[in-house]
Amino acid sequence: MTASPSSLVPDPSTHAGVRLLADIGGTNARFALETGPSRFEAIEVLSCQEHASLADAVRAYLALPQVAGLGQGIRHAAIAIANPVTGDQVRMTNHHWAFSIEALRLECGFDTLVVVNDFTALARSLPHLGEHKRQVGGGAPEPDAPLGLLGAGTGLGVSGLIPFGPAWAALRSEGGHVGFSPVNDTEIAILQYAWREFEHVSCERLLSGAGVELIYRALSDRAGRPDSLAAPEISRRALSGECALCDEVLEVFCGMLGTAAGNLAITLGAQGGVYIGGGIVPRLGERFVNSSFRRRFEQKGRFSAYLAQVPTYVITADYPAFLGVSAILSEKLSAA
């Protein structure tokens, strides 16, 4: 079953008591208490650098005055982490924390502890977003069909959500590392510039924060005025209307993302829709809606009519990973 109404209704029996949820990145650790189905309270962001271990960060969060009153006797917890999770041992690639999931469970006194990759959690959030998404362009979701997910931020996350009996299965994809394919002369020039730095130019090299900077360097070099700028400044200048080159960078980025999203939709048969997350696109607002993203999404020759029927959405939820790990935890508790 996919995004049919019954799949969006949490099982109240899995929400007995308060549950701890977390979304762990290389810089920040976000925590919340789920006091009822999809009701997140005491949301706090802690610096990873200020805590020696994940267990220390969990204890520091639970000791906060605004948390302590709600978080007594927590039995169940779920954590999304920006790292591969393939067994009991987790060693973060973008921070020094390393831990055993079972040892962490025992140290924190939980009956249940689920730890999953953060993009798996984001994928699992899709059926539960409700109004926290914005459709870009046309199309309507087909029932019982796969969903696609792209997230452009520090890197490019790619996943899909596949109907699996009464639930969903999230793909453990590394699709951001597929080779970039240009579709016009400007993108060919950008690719040729990128080849000066990288033997393999993946989609992630261009569809990420560092990619925005690479596109800027390539276009400024092409214009005969080599320059570099940080991604936040490129976006600021583009959105304020003060730099035509920065605006072109965003336009190129959105077009490239549209092609990548269309490729994903065809690959997965994602007629339930393709969702765009990550830190970059939601901040672009109307600029993204008015960009070439949707036109490029549908620009697939004989398959243009097929893609015209597939909806595309921008995720607007502030903390979608909490929705995802909550759903995963509920499934685990229901199966127990």
Q: What is the pLDDT of residues 143-183, one digit of tens each?
A: 999 999 999 988 899 999 999 877 899 998 889 999 999 99
Q: How many residues comprise the chain?
A: 336
236-266 tens-digit pLDDT: 999 999 999 999 999 999 999 999 999 999 9
133-316 has which fold? Answer: Hexokinase; domain 1 (3.40.367)
Q: What are the helix (H) ranges across 131-243?
A: 185-194, 203-206, 209-222, 231-240
The amino acid at residue 285 is G
No. of helices (H) and no. of strands (E), the chain: 13, 13
Per-residue pLDDT at 26 exceeds 60: yes
* pLDDT per position as a tens digit, 103-115: 999 999 999 999 9
* pLDDT tens per residue, range 206-223: 999 999 999 999 999 999
% pLDDT > 90, the chain: 83
Give the list of residues 6+ apart from residue 199 with CB closer than 8 angstroms, or none.
none
Confidence of residue 71 (pLDDT cuts 50, 70, 90): low
What does the pLDDT read at residue 68? 85
The single-letter code of the amino acid at 293 is F
**How is the chain split among helix, strand and coil, in percent rounded to 5?**
45, 20, 35
Among left, alpha and beta (phi > 0; psi -120 to 50; other), residue 204 is alpha
pTM for the full predicted model: 0.88
**Which is more confidently placed, 12 or 146?**
146
Residues 6+ away with beta carbon under 8 Å from 87: none
N- to C-terminal Cα distance for the chain?
21
What is the residue extent of each domain of the chain?
5-124+319-335, 133-316
CATH number of 5-124+319-335: 3.30.420.40
